[in-house]
Amino acid sequence: MTLVPGNRIVVVGRVETGRADRDFGIAQYDKNGTLDPHFGEDGKVTTDIANFGDDTPRSVERTRGGRIVVGGFTRGSINSAGAAFAIARYH
């Protein structure tokens, strides 16, 4: 979880999108606790790092420029030997 300008809160977690696919899930809330409709689709964004893989976000930070950066790992089609580092940046 991190705070962004305007007293909004960004949280990350894993979203199950299919039988063998889990993705980064990001949600942004307004200061009153409702999903921010200006962020993604109705306040939520899902990012698939590895197609049919297990993507797990572990941290979220806001950059000086106001962008959101999510770090974690992925297991699946891009690295069958084990986990690989994954990072995504959002506007």
pLDDT in tens, 26-57: 999 998 999 999 999 999 999 998 777 789 99
Exposed/middle/buried for 8, CB within 10 Å: 0-12, 13-18, 19+? middle
Report residue 53 CA to chain centroid gap: 15
What pLDDT is stored for residue 80 in this prediction?
A: 59
Of 61 and 78, more confident: 61
The predicted pLDDT at position 65 comes to: 86
Whole-structure pTM value: 0.83
Query: Can you tell me the mean pLDDT for 73-89?
Result: 78
Q: What is the pLDDT of residue 81?
A: 62
The number of beta carbons lying within 10 Å of the beta carbon of residue 87 is 13
- In angstroms, rounded to a whole number, what is the distance separating the alpha carbons of residues 58 and 23? 12
Pairwise CA distance, residues 26 & 76, whole Å: 20
Of residues 16 and 35, more confidently modeled: 35
Domain ranges of the chain: 2-90
